[in-house]
Amino acid sequence: MKEIDIALVSVGGTIKCGLYENKELFEEIVSNELTLTALPKIFESLLPNPKQDSQYTDMKINTIYYANGPGSFSALKLTHIFLHTLSLLYEIKLLATSSFYFTQAKYIKAFGTTYFYEDKHNEIALAYGIDNPQETDFYMPKVLDPQCFHHKTEPLYILPPVQS
């Protein structure tokens, strides 16, 4: 049985899933569907079940490396619950990192003209009133660097304070 790892960016918008053998990308799955629809479809094709795609029947997922934020609050919650359920059911290890690992853009859309960015101390913060920033394109790295990931897999929620 071939052992693989998965990298996943599911923080809102296009969902990207990379399949890795020996930390090298060999296939990418992309979905423009909503997180709630896309995640079950992607993993249904990968995991053992009656609807599993035949090309994946000889593969076992060891670890899922994923972006736990920043991003869409709803997408982060859904991804967190979905992946932790898979982890328990299939004994898959989970490791997470910032969404910035999967992009070269300086900003990630938050809401309106507000964007997430990494400051000079590599802390994630909100920038207000940004006009026409570079579009955030997420990608799957050709080689996965496990040292950039950690066991703290809770969603990274960065929300502004509620003002009355």
Any idea what the CATH number is for the domain that residue 23 is in?
Answer: 3.30.420.40
Q: Is 57 inside any structural domain?
A: yes
> H or E stretch including 43?
helix 35-46
Q: Is 64 inside any structural domain?
A: yes
Per-residue pLDDT band for 159 (boundaries 50, 70, 90) equals low
**Domain span at 67:** 2-99+137-148
Domain count, the chain: 1
Q: What separation, in Å, do the N-terminal and C-terminal C-alpha atoms of the chain show?
A: 57
Q: Is 117 inside any structural domain?
A: no
Per-residue confidence (pLDDT) for residue 65, from 0 to 100: 98
- Identify the CA nearest to 28 among candidates 42, 17, 15, 43: 17
Residue, of 64 and 160, whose pLDDT is higher: 64
Per-residue pLDDT band for 130 (boundaries 50, 70, 90) equals confident
Determine the average pLDDT of the residues in 12-16.
94
Per-residue confidence (pLDDT) for residue 141, from 0 to 100: 98
